């Protein structure tokens, strides 16, 4: 069983030996701090685990087994933003708990986790209290000794961690007081990072930044693909933890990768990217069952809430609840099973291999602006053809299917424009925004198509159970009216893309 806590803290170190001898300044009177309560000293013994090539450290994660203090056990820290981490804890044991291993799988894969560094800390703890005696933060002064192979290092650092609900501005006020006393914010992001450096170890290879190394089409495309790969890896533990929007973000990353492979088939050999794209499609489908049902339920509930009470006949909400529970049973379990599968690990390994040795074609050496302009306009013209074909059809199932295909083309064109922004700048950004409006309209239309199918099924179920099907019919008719409205709006929304497309074309 693992527990999670949001950790907001700031680490400091003494700028000079003289400042260190003076110690930590009195913080009373700093911001809302009225008093400081001594909590004594604890002895901590922590062993940090990582892969031999330090993949966790490279991504800013730390995994440790710690004894001593009130929170002895296994601790996994996942970065959220600068100074903010989620700490996932599990009971003390001799091996890494399965709950934590699962959260590390997208980074570790099949590589074993091994002890890397041992940190022995003598920690003096104080609570920073407000005028009412409520704890605002915990102040820790750590005398640290690091042991790594035959090397050792020692230093003192100061850490201020906010209590739950405390104002983050307190950390700024404390930093100001500390600076005057000769303390500065630590350059090291964690004790582990400092230990690796000060024991003479090689700093872990950081994940490459999003910017291209050179101004060629291949460099820009690869930078974009690496960025999306990193999102895919980072969202894996978020999905496992059930964090809001994590499934959606992971699916978007898979879609962006697949779209980029297709958009840039003249830059990257499709014979090599195609199989990876198919695996990405599999992953998106496995993740999508629960998310799609969630979106559908929210749509039906919203429209139901908007109906006058006089139009809600029978046990409509109860029927909707039963229907939703039946469709979502096992969907999250299936998504987690996909993430735990060897197929998922193989997909991540294939992505890494492709990006490490990319199958670049001749066009990859072209200047980025020229090649990406052609790619973006190619996807835009593809979208134009699909919208024209859809609008030429009479209303009905055929047009609905054509508009759905246009929606997928709009998504690809939008992603292509967004990926080209670093090379093409403002024109690509404006085109992406205009095409997104088309995608949103078509997406709402398709959601209505799916909702009508569900509403018809709900009406049939209600009638079969002897309930009134009237309300389901009302909601069905409402979806039909909304679809007709979206189809009338499409020509104008589509026309608004012409100017931005012309600007990209130059």
pLDDT tens digits, 277-311:
999 999 999 998 878 888 999 999 999 999 999 99
Confidence of residue 422 (pLDDT cuts 50, 70, 90): very high
Question: At residue 7, does pLDDT exceed 50?
Answer: yes
pTM summary value: 0.89
Asked if 51 and 57 touch (Cβ cutoff 8 Å), the reply is no
Which candidate, 462, 482, 449, places its Cα nearest to that of 321?
462
Which candidate, 273, 6, 310, places its Cα nearest to that of 164?
6
Confidence of residue 210 (pLDDT cuts 50, 70, 90): very low
**Residue 324 and residue 371: Cα distance in Å, rounded?**
47
What value does the mean pLDDT of the chain take? Answer: 93
Asked if 33 and 114 touch (Cβ cutoff 8 Å), the reply is no
DSSP H helices, 34-91, are 55-58
Q: What pLDDT score was predicted for residue 328?
A: 79
Question: At residue 211, does pLDDT exceed 60?
Answer: no
Asked if 97 and 105 touch (Cβ cutoff 8 Å), the reply is no
Angstrom CA distances, 132 to 35, 39, 113, 140, 162, stand at: 10, 18, 46, 22, 17
Name residues whose C-beta falls within 8 Å of residue 368's C-beta, 6 or more positions apart in sequence: 212, 215, 216, 217, 219, 220, 423
Question: At residue 193, does pLDDT exceed 70?
Answer: yes
Q: What pLDDT score was predicted for residue 214?
A: 79
More confident of the two residues 208 and 41:
41
Q: What pLDDT score was predicted for residue 202?
A: 67
CA-based Rg of the chain, rounded to a whole angstrom? 28
pLDDT in tens, 244-279: 899 999 999 999 999 999 999 999 999 999 999 999
pLDDT in tens, 47-60: 999 999 999 999 99
pLDDT in tens, 146-192: 999 889 999 999 999 999 999 999 999 999 999 999 999 998 888 88
**Which run of H or E residues covers position 19?**
helix 17-22
Tell how far CA 16 is from the center of its chain: 40
At residue 324, φ and ψ (nearest 5 deg) are -65, -45
What mean pLDDT is predicted for residues 389-404? 96
Confidence of residue 333 (pLDDT cuts 50, 70, 90): confident
Tell how far CA 63 is from the center of its chain: 20
Q: What pLDDT score was predicted for residue 436?
A: 98
Question: At residue 19, does pLDDT exceed 80?
Answer: no
Question: Of 139-143, 211-215, 302-306, 351-355, which gets the smallest average pLDDT?
Answer: 211-215
pLDDT in tens, 477-500: 999 999 999 999 999 999 999 999
Q: What pLDDT score was predicted for residue 200?
A: 81
3-state DSSP of 339-370: HHCHHHHHHHHHHHHHHHCCCECHHHHCEHHH
Helices (H) and strands (E) in the chain, counts: 16, 9
What mean pLDDT is predicted for residues 66-94? 93
Q: Of all residues in the chain, what percent carry a pLDDT higher than 70?
A: 97
Confidence of residue 405 (pLDDT cuts 50, 70, 90): very high
């Amino acid at each position: 069983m693992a527990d999670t806590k949001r950790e907001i803290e700031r680490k400091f170190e003494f700028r000079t030996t003289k400042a260190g001898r003076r110690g930590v300044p009195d913080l009373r009177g700093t911001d809302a701090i009225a008093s400081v309560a001594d909590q004594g000293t604890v002895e901590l013994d922590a062993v940090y685990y990582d892969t031999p090539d330090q993949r966790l450290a490279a991504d800013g994660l730390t995994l440790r087994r710690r004894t001593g203090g009130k929170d002895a056990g296994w601790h996994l820290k996942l970065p959220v933003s600068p100074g903010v981490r989620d700490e996932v804890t599990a009971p003390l044991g001799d091996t890494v708990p399965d709950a934590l291993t699962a959260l590390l799988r997208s980074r570790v894969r099949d590589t074993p986790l091994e002890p890397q560094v041992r940190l022995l800390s003598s920690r003096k703890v104080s609570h920073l209290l407000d005028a009412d005696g409520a704890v605002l933060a915990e102040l820790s002064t750590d005398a640290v000794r690091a042991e790594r192979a035959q090397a050792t290092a020692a230093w003192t650092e100061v850490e201020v961690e906010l209590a739950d609900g405390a104002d983050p501005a307190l950390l700024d006020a404390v930093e100001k007081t500390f600076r005057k006393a000769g303390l500065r914010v630590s350059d090291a992001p964690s004790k582990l990072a400092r230990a690796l450096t000060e024991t003479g170890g090689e700093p872990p290879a950081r994940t490459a930044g999003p910017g291209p190394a050179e101004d060629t089409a291949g460099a820009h495309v690869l930078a974009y693909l690496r960025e999306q790969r990193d999102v895919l890896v980072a969202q894996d533990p978020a999905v496992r933890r059930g964090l809001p929007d994590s499934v959606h973000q992971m699916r978007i990353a898979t879609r962006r990768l697949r779209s980029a492979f297709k958009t840039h088939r003249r830059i990257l050999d499709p014979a090599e990217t195609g199989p990876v794209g198919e695996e990405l499609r599999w992953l998106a489908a496995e993740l999508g069952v629960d998310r799609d049902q969630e979106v559908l339920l929210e749509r039906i509930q919203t429209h139901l809430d908007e109906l006058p009470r006089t139009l809600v006949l029978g046990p409509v909400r109860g029927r909707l609840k039963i229907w939703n529970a039946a469709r979502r049973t096992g969907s999250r379990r299936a998504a987690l099973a996909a993430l735990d599968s060897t197929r998922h690990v193989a997909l991540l390994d294939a992505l890494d291999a492709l990006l490490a040795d990319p199958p670049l074609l001749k066009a990859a050496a072209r200047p980025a602006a020229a090649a990406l302009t052609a790619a973006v306009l190619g996807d835009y013209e593809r979208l134009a053809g699909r919208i024209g074909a859809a609008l030429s059809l009479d209303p009905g199932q055929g047009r609905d299917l054509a508009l759905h295909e246009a929606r997928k083309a709009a998504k690809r064109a939008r992603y292509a424009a967004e990926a080209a922004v670093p090379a093409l700048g403002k024109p690509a950004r404006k085109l992406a925004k205009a095409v997104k409006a088309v995608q949103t309209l078509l997406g709402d239309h398709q959601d209505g198509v799916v909702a009508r199918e569900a509403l018809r099924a709900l009406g049939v179920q209600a009638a079969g159970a002897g309930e009134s099907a009237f309300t389901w019919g009302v909601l069905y008719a409402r979806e039909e009216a909304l679809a007709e409205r979206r189809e009338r709006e499409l020509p104008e929304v589509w026309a608004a893309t012409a100017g931005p497309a012309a600007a990209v074309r130059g």
